[in-house]
Structure 1
């Protein structure tokens, strides 16, 4: 441990001794740091930077984290975890002490609580008889899930679980990185090929009793995964004495060998009473921790049904899923906990699927835990903000549009979206990097230099280059980056031709770094903290040092490429990591500052996992940059919104005490949460969806003149059939009344009129949920059981653009609302159509307040999701739920019609500055040439309903492959 780490740890211990946390001020922190430094400082040593330690401790003591939210199924479960049971636990205690030197005490306390929650939802390993518990933990990308399951493993070992298997992804580099983390957090020693404990490390410092050292059947080496030969070296050691840890890949060969060892006479102690040939383990409780549980573990094969709807027990699941389940099925006492940030695929696992050979599938029937992230976590919601009718708001200005990697006209360029393994990257015919990637590398060098100036020079700094999944092409990119960095290093070092480089960097400094840091200080001062901006002269003074220290690391999948930051713990590693899929899942890039990313998959779960730039950026978030395409930014914005909705739904169901099965059914029927691979949904042609309790919006609009006229005619006909409505409706609220000054509201509209509108309206073929014919089918099915017979309909023309339009009834609208978006090949894509208040246009004050009360009951602050202050208006979800509860005149859907401006409002309007190589220019142009009438869009707010009525939603697998990319 370095002197600065020792001073930090000691000062934190002194501060934690304060009985009143309110007294821990920056002044007191500085005093304790000074005292700690005086206690450890040697006369001839370099003085510790006390101001840097003080800043770090101010950050730590200002962080907080919300309690995790959980859905439980207690059927067959016996509560067992108590404070008394935890007395004398040593694995957890030493890990807790280890964490307290690095993390705020409140974050460690939260991890203690959440791991208690998870362990307590499993079964007592001392419990007699057979039992099986399966659960899922949902975290955020790069938010500390490894730290959480390390704590769970420590506690499970303390409690009496004897065999602990960690399924650590699909590739060697992630497996090795996970092994290293668990050596530090659980084992307390560096593993070696002979099976003996090697160099002490990590938690060993806090409890050096080697008698409690767990055994480990894998090592951190490139060939350190499990194999039967390695198992023979520890044949004489009994798992009953000390727990065994296995960190393995999700690989057929590895899992087959592990299963064989488990079923051998050395481990298995009995035969299955129902099948004497099947060996089982009755005396050793098993815990399986599945990292990235949505990747590789989910059965992507068909699950055939019998005529009575039951699962065919003879079907064969996919090989990895089969082997994981066979391992679990071999133990009479087993627990499975999946960890993921993208649970879409896991929710689609059939809850009743089981086979004779494999036993149950991996649906998390026992529990789902939704982890909160600490207040300093920078996740999708914080980076990309939230979508409103005025565009996205609240995001951090960290992304930079790039377009020079590909020429859409010629379908060629340095890195076109579709290329083969023999592609040779070339920019304008030259074997060189595009200007945008050169800028990104310069940006990384500047970020590293500023971190040095801020006293963070010994901390890790990384850059990600993720442009292709093909290893051969990655090798070309690696060579080009190496040549560019070497050339830059030599020019800065020798002074020959360095002025053009410094001029380009100075331009980035003035046009990007200085204004961005100022913006972030204004938008999120709690993230910017007191990170000072040095002078340009100070930056230039350390550039040579930064470039000398920068290494280029290809990451293709071997453990040798696992980015072992621990080897550079005292100096700080500065690395440009170049890879593809091996960088996409689970691999942690410490101190990630700059990302250059042009992958094109659009599946929510795959894209979200590729977001290595999410995470913790203490004292340098303003230096981080994401260089990517506008399309990918739009998709990341979309998945940020979808993930937020998924978490909101989870919180709502947890308050109601519902189970994982009920949550799974709810998500499966959700029209937005469908973007994972169809093979993971096991429904490659048809999904069953319900629109109850949802808001459906036409955010994909057509541009064809005949379609625009058809939709305008449909709206005109509906208005004519409804007769007179109430103009400029007003609803009383607590403070300021809601007034829709230019709107018209119709009540008690017959469902037949609305169905005629939906039947006549042409929606875009690429719409993910707002398909008029599917909606009409759902309404008719609800009508058949006596629901949705009467509607509220609102025409909402509030805006400031367009010429007056007169409907056939004489109803005139003088202004059209605008929505920002992007022109597509045959349509116009917008973000959000509906203003949040519009769903309550027919809701009076009493019911509006009730919806607000329900909203506040489920709300909790969560900075990672952009939630800091309690809402003052009810959420649309609670307005829809309130309609079901209120009944009477409110138990009805609301159809909202928006006559949009035919002028396109660009989603991004950036102009490339002179001298900058990246950037984009967009001009305002009409949605459709020679079309000046309003473009009709609509939204429907469906009240919640427990009827379970669903409709078929067709998914064309070939289209899915073309649009979203192949399953990964």
Structure 2
């Protein structure tokens, strides 16, 4: 037996023992008995059955199960509109289900009961919001399921498909991305979780897989296969005749591509339809209920054309939607009974769809009018909250120490280098005059080799390991990168295996090992819960011995959208060690199994595109400490920014769900967020103007001009305002807060300020044009309109210094000289690589500051509202119920309480002018400016009056600043 065959046999043995012991543990009804000792006992029983006298690592199986049974899952949150909907999903209806029970047993062999219970509950929730497939009159349900990137959305919709098939849905269409590799990967996942067999070229069932082990073969029909040419097309459509209602359901896993969708639509109209519409003669299917799953629903499905609405809100029915959107809607429109469920981690484009959009040919647009469900992720999920931490006034806190700064790919001074942010498809990557990779990418490759070696020595050698290199969207440029990386790996292999000139290379790798891997493992261990602490690292001598075999196994691949890229992962016994080089083909949906190292320098700044490119999110059991993210400073800043933006929007969702509001109402709220960093204006159907409301939101200046004259101008604006306010409020800025006192040093508060003072400040202060959410002119316009309906006439204004700042304390006019304000320390800002004339900070304010003018009663009400909307979600770092109110809770409380609390709040912050703690001219953030940099935040109470203001968008500025959306 070869070493590879022996490793595969050991992996199979481990899988069998773990699966059997898992079932034994799950069978224990008294969950209090499930202790580590109990798990050891069950593993030993399973090992006797499968291992016999064969040497077997019982400890490894025990560790896997202890970790598995410590995982848990938060609850999903739902916005719903049940107009015309009948509740139908009951325990009696679920009693004789087969597909779901097979899938549940299959999942329980791999996951903890708590995670599977969470999946069961979430899929019940989604299915219950669809319509009963036995209901014979016409119905149309459309919803959206929002998950975290790489968190298990495929498992969720596989579970939903199983339950829908059990319930009686007969045609199941899965729209699986834009490329062959993702479609093939999705087909294979559904074969494993739903069909129970491998599909073949002849469409006959092949080898049993996945759920087949857990129940009878149900002879489910699949019109598509796992092969590269296995998509639906005209050539095979002629083999499929009509579908009778008595048959098992039919599965179609198809690309969002014109030819494929056109062929499917034609086949349904000619072979499946059983009647015609009395009005327009459309062919209709009335006897077969449809479930359509739209994976990555924000990509290609959204109509980027602009439909016109007349004065009474009626849509132009002759509007011509974009091709893919039109075909998806025509497919739905061909059925009288249908349910559409979109899945995405970045829902913004879908929510921007107009809720009244409709045409005669396509029917209603894809707005999720029936429900939006926000999924939680299991506790072992590694998402933005854990990867990048949380931004606070003191900087980012709690992030995993896995990111590495990449700057040698680009020279900002010459706007050139190996991979400049903006380059053409004819670009040839050159480093130091040669067509070779920069040292940062060489270090990343060395790190990947080390990670693979450690995984082998930890007993994970039979599992896949991947590295992602994502530096350009152009295929031709990717080709150059592929050649350079392939040459680098070939030379490494040659030097280590043959021993020629190997000492220098071994020394380089040992340096990374001792200065990076060893300390990082210890840091990750300190940040991990007990059951997730990574194993100890092997000795360097063991690493050296294993290196040749690992290097021999590593393959370099260019990912170009073919099914082969996905198929290799499914080959029995294969354990790939692959360096994947790609661009847009890697950006959406495609899972890189065992992703350890990512090298990422793409420059788009749009939320949806960036988050979808974040293939490194997900599950990293047993090797989290080995993972690395090599990323440029600008991208690091933006990932942190969108992690914060994501949490704000999810919190908005939580509050609206607690208030039992509808998807339509959420859509109007999301449009008020920092939309220019959310998605492309094209996807928002408005490349010219955005309609915003600020009610219930907080705006803060985090982007600034690097210009002394503008800084003087803004400081003057603040000083003029403070001088006009008179004596501050006489009360002491300290509150009991139920025994956990809040206080502010170096702060002054003015209550009952007339709105004219605030408007005067906004008229004078110059915000940066890139600060789309904090545009002083637009803010003033909104406040003026609110005054017109009798709101926001009175304000609180606070001036908040910070004792940890550096520089001479600043005395504001109108305050005694003894009340000078040391400026707050600024989080060390770096000049933007794209624009050195501006700088950004992370977070200016926090919820505590928003409560500076609230008494204890109002504070307690804000806390109660925060807790009512709160649900545990480890992916968002939400583990324990909150003990202080969130900013959103405070703004909701202001509106609910009315009276003195129901007013706007303007917070003024003098920021330190120096980078770091050193007070010297060369450390000035803004050259020539050694006085405070004035920043501000405004918190608006929530309002039922949806007053909106327009923000003009310059599409050219948008493209120059943020890059393409896809």
Q: Return the match for 2:812 from 807, 815, 826.
A: 807
1:166 corresponds in structure 2 to 174
Q: Return the match for 1:816 from 823, 826, 829.
A: 823
Aligned-residue offset at 1:797: 1.2
1:117 corresponds in structure 2 to 125
Question: 1:540 and 1:342 mapped to 2: Cα distance?
Answer: 43
2:20 corresponds in structure 1 to 10
2:345 corresponds in structure 1 to 341
2:943 corresponds in structure 1 to 945
Question: 2:71 and 2:625 mapped to 1: Cα distance?
Answer: 18
Aligned-residue offset at 1:492: 1.1
SS of the equivalent of 1:161 reads: coil
Paired residues of 2:467 and 2:595 also in contact (CA < 8 A)? yes
1:839 corresponds in structure 2 to 850
SS of the equivalent of 1:263 reads: helix
Question: 1:199 and 1:70 mapped to 2: Cα distance?
Answer: 39
SS of the equivalent of 1:2 reads: helix
SS of the equivalent of 2:501 reads: coil
1:60 corresponds in structure 2 to 68
Q: Return the match for 2:592 from 589, 592, 602.
A: 589
Question: 1:254 and 1:572 mapped to 2: Cα distance?
Answer: 33
2:867 corresponds in structure 1 to 856
2:694 corresponds in structure 1 to 691
SS of the equivalent of 1:338 reads: strand
Question: 1:116 and 1:808 mapped to 2: Cα distance?
Answer: 62
1:574 corresponds in structure 2 to 577
Paired residues of 2:466 and 2:579 also in contact (CA < 8 A)? yes
Q: Show the 5 A alignment for 1:446-525.
A: 446-525=450-529
Aligned-residue offset at 1:810: 4.5
Whether 1:50 aligns to 2:46 is no
**Shift in alpha-carbon separation, 1:667–1:810, aligned structure 2, 3 A:** closer
SS of the equivalent of 2:781 reads: helix
Paired residues of 1:904 and 1:924 also in contact (CA < 8 A)? no
Whether 1:681 aligns to 2:688 is no
Question: 2:432 and 2:105 mapped to 1: Cα distance?
Answer: 56
Question: 2:315 and 2:623 mapped to 1: Cα distance?
Answer: 53
Paired residues of 1:527 and 1:619 also in contact (CA < 8 A)? no
Whether 1:894 aligns to 2:905 is yes
Paired residues of 1:520 and 1:528 also in contact (CA < 8 A)? no
Question: 1:263 and 1:758 mapped to 2: Cα distance?
Answer: 59
**Greater alpha carbon shift after TM alignment, 789-798 vs 697-706:** 697-706
1:918 corresponds in structure 2 to none
**Greater alpha carbon shift after TM alignment, 688-697 vs 803-812:** 803-812
Question: 1:159 and 1:24 mapped to 2: Cα distance?
Answer: 34
Paired residues of 1:379 and 1:614 also in contact (CA < 8 A)? yes
**Shift in alpha-carbon separation, 1:348–1:237, aligned structure 2, 3 A:** closer
2:927 corresponds in structure 1 to 929
Paired residues of 1:793 and 1:896 also in contact (CA < 8 A)? yes
Question: 2:43 and 2:655 mapped to 1: Cα distance?
Answer: 44
Q: Return the match for 2:719 from 716, 721, 733.
A: 716
Paired residues of 1:642 and 1:673 also in contact (CA < 8 A)? no
Q: Return the match for 2:39 from 29, 43, 49.
A: 29
2:5 corresponds in structure 1 to none
Q: Return the match for 1:791 from 763, 774, 795.
A: 795
**Shift in alpha-carbon separation, 1:526–1:320, aligned structure 2, 3 A:** farther
1:259 corresponds in structure 2 to 265
1:356 corresponds in structure 2 to 360
Question: 1:258 and 1:844 mapped to 2: Cα distance?
Answer: 63
1:912 corresponds in structure 2 to none
Paired residues of 2:384 and 2:617 also in contact (CA < 8 A)? yes
**Greater alpha carbon shift after TM alignment, 546-555 vs 2-11:** 546-555
2:3 corresponds in structure 1 to none
SS of the equivalent of 1:806 reads: coil
Q: Show the 5 A alignment for 1:91-102.
A: 91-102=99-110
Q: Show the 5 A alignment for 1:432-831.
A: 432-526=436-530, 528-567=532-571, 569-671=572-674, 675-726=678-729, 729-800=733-804, 801-812=806-817, 813-820=820-827, 821-824=829-832, 825-831=836-842
Q: Return the match for 1:395 from 396, 399, 423.
A: 399
**Shift in alpha-carbon separation, 1:140–1:853, aligned structure 2, 3 A:** same
Q: Show the 5 A alignment for 1:145-184.
A: 145-184=153-192
Paired residues of 1:759 and 1:773 also in contact (CA < 8 A)? yes
Question: 1:207 and 1:184 mapped to 2: Cα distance?
Answer: 13
Whether 1:242 aligns to 2:245 is no
Whether 1:232 aligns to 2:244 is no
Q: Structure 1 length as normaliser, TM-score?
A: 0.96
Question: 2:363 and 2:26 mapped to 1: Cα distance?
Answer: 49
Aligned-residue offset at 1:737: 2.2
Question: 2:32 and 2:553 mapped to 1: Cα distance?
Answer: 42
SS of the equivalent of 2:466 reads: strand
**Greater alpha carbon shift after TM alignment, 881-890 vs 853-862:** 853-862
Q: Return the match for 1:410 from 411, 414, 417.
A: 414
SS of the equivalent of 2:174 reads: strand
Paired residues of 1:376 and 1:527 also in contact (CA < 8 A)? no
**Shift in alpha-carbon separation, 1:253–1:657, aligned structure 2, 3 A:** same
Question: 2:661 and 2:821 mapped to 1: Cα distance?
Answer: 48
**Greater alpha carbon shift after TM alignment, 401-410 vs 577-586:** 401-410
Aligned-residue offset at 1:497: 1.2
Aligned-residue offset at 1:215: 0.9
Aligned-residue offset at 1:238: 4.2
**Greater alpha carbon shift after TM alignment, 74-83 vs 477-486:** 477-486
Paired residues of 2:606 and 2:677 also in contact (CA < 8 A)? no
**Shift in alpha-carbon separation, 1:673–1:153, aligned structure 2, 3 A:** farther
1:380 corresponds in structure 2 to 384
**Greater alpha carbon shift after TM alignment, 56-65 vs 407-416:** 407-416
**Greater alpha carbon shift after TM alignment, 522-531 vs 598-607:** 522-531
Question: 2:932 and 2:534 mapped to 1: Cα distance?
Answer: 50
Q: Deviations over 1:117-165 (max 9, x none)?
A: 1111101111011111000000010000001101111111111111110
Q: Return the match for 1:290 from 294, 306, 327.
A: 294
SS of the equivalent of 2:460 reads: coil
The alignment of Structure 1 onto Structure 2 pairs a total of residues equal to 947
Q: Deviations over 1:536-593 (max 9, x none)?
A: 11222211121112122211111122253121x5352211111110000000111110
SS of the equivalent of 1:583 reads: helix
Question: 2:432 and 2:672 mapped to 1: Cα distance?
Answer: 48
Paired residues of 1:527 and 1:618 also in contact (CA < 8 A)? no
Q: CA RMSD in A?
A: 1.7
Q: Deviations over 1:166-219 (max 9, x none)?
A: 00001111001111111111111111222211222111122243xx21111111
Whether 1:318 aligns to 2:322 is yes
SS of the equivalent of 2:150 reads: coil
**Shift in alpha-carbon separation, 1:923–1:650, aligned structure 2, 3 A:** farther
Q: Structure 2 length as normaliser, TM-score?
A: 0.96
Q: Deviations over 1:340-385 (max 9, x none)?
A: 0000101000001000000000000111111100000000111001
Aligned-residue offset at 1:236: 6.6
Aligned-residue offset at 1:476: 1.6
Q: Deviations over 1:13-38 (max 9, x none)?
A: 11122232222222221222112101
Aligned-residue offset at 1:668: 1.5
Paired residues of 1:861 and 1:870 also in contact (CA < 8 A)? yes
Question: 1:880 and 1:25 mapped to 2: Cα distance?
Answer: 45
Whether 1:194 aligns to 2:202 is yes
Aligned-residue offset at 1:412: 2.1
Q: Deviations over 1:206-241 (max 9, x none)?
A: 2243xx211111111111111122112232764641
**Shift in alpha-carbon separation, 1:133–1:814, aligned structure 2, 3 A:** closer
Aligned-residue offset at 1:932: 2.2
Paired residues of 1:671 and 1:691 also in contact (CA < 8 A)? no
Aligned-residue offset at 1:778: 0.7
Which consecutive unaligned segments of at least 5 residues does structure 1 have?
Answer: 910-921
**Greater alpha carbon shift after TM alignment, 526-535 vs 498-507:** 526-535
2:144 corresponds in structure 1 to 136
